[in-house]
Amino acid sequence: MHHFHYRDGTLHAEDVSLADIAAEVGTPFYCYSRATLERHYTVFADAFKGTDTLICYSVKANSNIAVIKTLADLGSGADIVSEGELRRAIKAGVPANKIVFSGVGKQARELKLALETGIYQFNVESEPELELLSQVATSLNKEAAIALRVNPDVDARTHEKITTGKAENKFGISWKQAPRVYARAAQLPGIKIAGIDVHIGSQLTDLAPFEAAFTRVAGMVAELRQAGHEITRLDLGGGLGIPYRGTNDVPPPPTDYAAMVKKTVGHLGCQLMFEPGRMIAGNAGILVVGVVYEKQGDDRSFLIVDGAMNDLIRPTLYDAYHEVLPVHEAAIEAPCRNYDIVGPICETGDYFAKARNLAPQQPGDLLALMSAGAYGAVQASTYNTRPLVPEIMVDGTQFAVIRPRPTYDEMLDQDRLPDWLAS
């Protein structure tokens, strides 16, 4: 599942002690395992061997250029949702013809850059976007290959904030309206219909919602082809979950997912495209924090650590669970205590975990928050003027800082005084 393990009582990332990294770069910090990234990509890709597939890693999950390049070197494309992510993918070495542009709010300048870059496909999310893309493509004398993102109105049975395929969600075009919008797309200059796109949510641990959505898509392919549209690509999105609670919530393996995909749409003769993000990056990264204080309340104990909600917002944003492991393994006979693990920010929502059984911790001890490689560093902020957390990548016995912690001077220098306050 991942390459974080204890060795001689100390938690390691591959062959590097996390305590050694902490001693050099300080805490908090994110740490990614190259071997885990590569393993997760390969396991997913191998499940579709012998099938015409294009895997486009979802950059929003973890957009560090070193992470993207690690996957690009294995043949991965990129699913992007902004100009910034497009630029990151290109800088990381992702070929333009393996880049897919998703997202509900693409602007004219972003469409222009993507067309000039020569990306593979636009996943169009609305009729106004379709019209704008036609205008921009025509102005550049280019043709944009598109798939309409269809909203199948399928409940992904995941957290409401990461469900994307229900009728009330902002994403995509209603499957009921899609035939009419495809007819309009066929009339527009600069537009080439290539396929259908669907994405129903994130962190799915059950194949049934996928199967319901893909079955609906298969019916649409038949209907659209009968109407004269050439449908050669199916972008089936991402969303396959990861185990956040060890062996207690294990999602289906990629082989089972692939078997379901082949059963529902494999007969259509389309190129199959996928946008895995969390499944590749999630368990490949951890957040390491240092204990500042132990504090005893009336009915609970608190471990106050130097990381905070601005470093990893998933627990307070999604009520997300992250396993917490001490970097230095406690003795078997050590008594455990129930702790709420909280940060220094002046928000009640500033917590990582509640009611966790851990051996007593002392100031300076290190804790690892597991499965933090996806939607961790990418959602970090500088709230309370706290520097962004550095990111580390480990490769066997070596590690490198792949995003440094900014200094306070660098942070403060980003502000500018107006002339009337400069004196």
Coil, helix or strand at residue 123 = strand
Residues shown for the chain: 423
pLDDT for res 165: 47
- CATH 3.30.1330.200 is right for the domain spanning 103-274: no
CA dihedral sign of residues 185, 187, 188, 192: positive
Mean pLDDT (whole number) for 35-56: 97
- Using pLDDT thresholds of 50, 70 and 90, give the confidence band for residue 423: confident
Mean pLDDT of the chain: 92
3-state secondary structure 265-311: HHHHCCEEEECCCHHHHHHHEEEEEEEEEEEECCCCEEEEECCCCCC
Give yes or no for residue 162 having a pLDDT over 70.
Answer: no
pLDDT (tens digit, 9 = 90+) per residue, 253-280?
999 999 999 999 999 999 999 999 999 9
Q: What is each CA distance from 171 to 39, 86, 103, 153, 268, in whole angstroms?
A: 31, 20, 8, 10, 25
Range list for CATH 3.20.20.10 in the chain: 103-274
- Please check whether residue 251 is in contact with residue 242, taking contact to mean a CB–CB distance below 8 angstroms: yes
- Using pLDDT thresholds of 50, 70 and 90, give the confidence band for residue 156: very low
Give yes or no for residue 247 having a pLDDT over 60.
Answer: no
d(CA 118, CA 121): 9
CA dihedral sign of residues 36, 376, 73, 76: positive
Give yes or no for residue 399 having a pLDDT over 90.
Answer: yes
Residues carrying an active site annotation: 346
pLDDT (tens digit, 9 = 90+) per residue, 104-143?
999 999 999 999 999 999 999 999 999 999 999 999 999 9
Lookup: tokens for 65: 């250029």
Which CATH architecture group holds 4-31+282-412?
Beta Barrel (2.40)
* Cut 0.75: pTM above it: yes
Among 207-221, 224-238, 393-407, where is mean pLDDT lowest? 207-221
Range list for CATH 2.40.37.10 in the chain: 4-31+282-412
- Using pLDDT thresholds of 50, 70 and 90, give the confidence band for residue 351: very high
Mean pLDDT (whole number) for 344-361: 94
- Using pLDDT thresholds of 50, 70 and 90, give the confidence band for residue 241: confident
Mean pLDDT (whole number) for 214-229: 93
Give yes or no for residue 336 having a pLDDT over 50.
Answer: yes
pLDDT (tens digit, 9 = 90+) per residue, 164-200?
545 566 667 887 888 899 999 999 999 999 999 998 7
Give yes or no for residue 331 having a pLDDT over 80.
Answer: no
Mean pLDDT (whole number) for 73-97: 98
pLDDT for res 166: 52
Q: Are strands 53-58 and 271-274 parallel, antiparallel or unpaired?
A: parallel
